[in-house]
Structure 1
Amino acid sequence: MIRFLTQRLIFGAGVLLMLSAFVFFLFFVAPGDPARMIAGDKATEAQLMQIRKNLGVDRPIVVQYGSFLTRAISGDLGFSYRNQQPVAPIIVRRIPITLSLVLGGALLWLAIGIPMGIMSARFAGGLRDRIGQAFILVGLSFPTFVLGMMSLYLLYFIPKQAGFTLFPPGGYKALTTQPLLWAWHLVLPWTTLALTMAAVYARLTRGQMLDVMGEDYIRTARAKGLSERRVVWKHGLRAVLTPLVTQLGADIAMLLGGVIIIEQVYGLQGVGALAVQAVANQDRPIIIGVVLLGGVFIVISNIVVDLFYVLLDPRVR
């Protein structure tokens, strides 16, 4: 296990190293003035001179990259001249919002999608399967922003017109201060994210379960007299968990890099909203920071998925 984990950590470090090199050459070595790219068009000449000095553009490229990598490892992601503050604290303040949205939504979409997929597979061709298929089709067809706007209209605007508030329209309250208020503000974003993603997991679970339930060891379990529920949940589902964990790791890593649409619909100032603002303002230090953060999330998620492989599948061990 230690050797396996060490290999994955070394591989992840190599991926992050390649990502940092790509970001460095994209923003600092590409044609153009890197100081102007970082500071923006409104920067003064004095600011440009200071940025060039900080970047060390007069030094060899290898030395510049080494300095950039050292600062990034130490947590120094640069300085946002648009916001007049370091990049790292700006991103750190946004992470809890995106983390709350993604992890809460993940728990909800797993609670909906996996049972729905199992139900469809157990009763393939029947009424329950058709209900599950309809849910999958609607979930995959509905754009996220449409579902979000519909949720706001039905669960906020109409009750508001009737004189009471069922759910808030958006915003974020810190978990550490008021947990109930935190959850109340995130119910609609969680539901919007979960209904969209649950359709993906229901389809994946159904397809995998249909393949697994025809295997020899499933027939053997039934021949031993085990109940259908135990056969499905103990023997069938365990074999399905490996592809589900793979999909879950990829989805969480991607979403932690910024749930852009949902954060925009519900006014959540998370990493996705920050990335949109940075692109609109051409705030390249923040763009660099968000890209590197997304890479870190992807590497960590893949390492966690690999560890789950070892726990779930004896063949990997």
Structure 2
Amino acid sequence: MAGKTARFLLGKLLRMLSLLLASCLLSFFLLSLSPIDPVEAYVGASVTVSEQQREEIAAHWGLDQPPVERFGLWLSSIAQGDFGTSLLYRRPVLDVIGERFLASLWLMGIAWIFSGLIGLGLGILAGRREGSLWDKGIRGFCLLLSSTPTFWVGMVLLLIFAVWLGWFPVGLSVPIGVLEQDVTLFDRLSHVILPALTLSLAGMAPVALHTREKLMDINRSDYMLYARARGEGEWTALRRHGLRNLALPAVTLQFASFAELFGGSVLAEQVFSYPGLGRAATEAGLNGDLPLLLGIVLFSTLFVFIGNSIADLLTFLIDPRIRRQKRGGV
């Protein structure tokens, strides 16, 4: 059994390393084909520099080297723990990622919790009343959200609640002109509600739809029919016999949705000018900041891989059938 576990962990590690390498290689290749001039983005489009100064800047940042050599040097630096310096922020890449990730974690954490809870609740309500107006309304609403771009949802919420009603700030994560030590929890919450709501609406639709389908299957199962025949109420039978089967797809989807969550945060942060990791990735791509972009690619890939691994682990722990299959395989 110990050998089986070691092989499983080794396989996970090899898959993670190969995924990180492939993601960085693809990102480097695409950015190398970009028409963006990193030197011009570094000095600013309105600043005029001589050809000699351009060559000196390119040599300082290693931009005068062939792409293959540049990628090899970057890879060797990463192996030594050096992620380089951001051309855009003039700071170490790890410092920028750490600062921006804390802001994004605050945003994505709130959105992740609410999308799971609301999606599970809507899915139970729709599946319990199959064919009713509630079911049709919730299903139509979720299908509409699934086909709506995240940035468009954010723009609509911004227009209604920030511009027309004035209930929330238009953007940013803290009030303008306020020192960090003077920012209150209320200030942070008021700035994060709209982008978090945007991500929640985008993430709750798949959870609700899958929960609805699973609940309808559970209601038709033999053990639920037997429970009702014994006189158990619908909610009592669901709580005793169906919640575990109902929780499995919802929990798995929640942790497997880390990729959609991070991708949605990139768009939401752009709409609300929220200074998170997604906005930093956009700025790095638009300004040719290769060290920062590759660092964010590494970090986001690891973030998504961890979410998928947690989903696999929870599936193994919640579903006894998978555990029996694993033991049978051993």
Q: Which TM-score band (shorter chain)?
A: 0.7 to 0.9
Q: 1:175 Cα shift? A: 11
Q: Name stretches of at least 5 consecutive residues in structure 1 with no aligned partner.
A: 161-165
Q: Is the 8 A contact 1:257 1:293 kept in 2?
A: no
* Counterparts of 2:29 and 2:313, CA distance in 1: 37
1:85 is paired with a residue whose SS is coil
Q: Is the 8 A contact 2:253 2:311 kept in 1?
A: no
Equivalences for 1:59-74 in 2 at 5 Å?
A: 68-69=74-75, 71-72=77-78
2:280 is matched with which residue: 274, 282, 291? Answer: 274
* Counterparts of 1:302 and 1:27, CA distance in 2: 21
Shifted more, 136-145 versus 146-155: the winner is: 136-145
Equivalences for 1:50-199 in 2 at 5 Å?
A: 50-51=60-61, 68-69=74-75, 71-72=77-78, 75-160=81-166, 166-173=167-174, 178-199=184-205
2:168 is paired with a residue whose SS is coil
| Counterpart residue type for residue 249 of structure 2 | P
For residues 145-184 of structure 1, give each alpha carbon's deviation from its aligned partner in whole angstroms, at most 9, with x where no partner exists. 2322222222222234xxxxx2222221489963332222
* Counterparts of 1:82 and 1:51, CA distance in 2: 12
Q: 1:223 to 1:202 in 2, by over 3 A?
A: same
* Counterparts of 1:74 and 1:258, CA distance in 2: 32
1:211 is matched with which residue: 217, 240, 248? Answer: 217
Q: 1:130 Cα shift? A: 2.1
1:139 is paired with a residue whose SS is helix
Q: 1:240 Cα shift? A: 2.6
Q: 1:20 to 1:176 in 2, by over 3 A?
A: farther
1:306 aligns to what?
312
Equivalences for 1:226-237 in 2 at 5 Å?
A: 226-237=232-243
Q: Name stretches of at least 5 consecutive residues in structure 2 with no aligned partner.
A: 44-52, 175-179, 324-330
Q: Is the 8 A contact 2:116 2:254 kept in 1?
A: no
Q: 1:12 Cα shift? A: 3.3
Q: 1:39 to 1:235 in 2, by over 3 A?
A: farther
Equivalences for 1:234-313 in 2 at 5 Å?
A: 234-256=240-262, 259-313=265-319
1:10 aligns to what?
10
| Counterpart residue type for residue 169 of structure 2 | P
* Counterparts of 1:20 and 1:267, CA distance in 2: 28
> RMSD of the alignment, in Å?
3.6
Q: 1:244 Cα shift? A: 2.1
| Counterpart residue type for residue 164 of structure 2 | I
| Counterpart residue type for residue 287 of structure 1 | L
1:169 is paired with a residue whose SS is coil
Q: 1:194 to 1:96 in 2, by over 3 A?
A: same
**TM value normalised by structure 2:** 0.78
Q: Is the 8 A contact 2:88 2:284 kept in 1?
A: no
**TM value normalised by structure 1:** 0.81
2:208 aligns to what?
202
Q: 1:46 Cα shift? A: 4.0
Q: 1:256 Cα shift? A: 3.2
* Counterparts of 2:263 and 2:299, CA distance in 1: 7
Q: 1:133 to 1:44 in 2, by over 3 A?
A: same
Q: Is the 8 A contact 1:121 1:209 kept in 2?
A: yes
The aligned length equals: 306
Shifted more, 278-287 versus 301-310: the winner is: 301-310
Q: Is the 8 A contact 2:120 2:250 kept in 1?
A: no
Shifted more, 39-48 versus 250-259: the winner is: 39-48
Identity of aligned residues (%): 30
1:315 is paired with a residue whose SS is helix
Q: Is the 8 A contact 1:39 1:283 kept in 2?
A: no
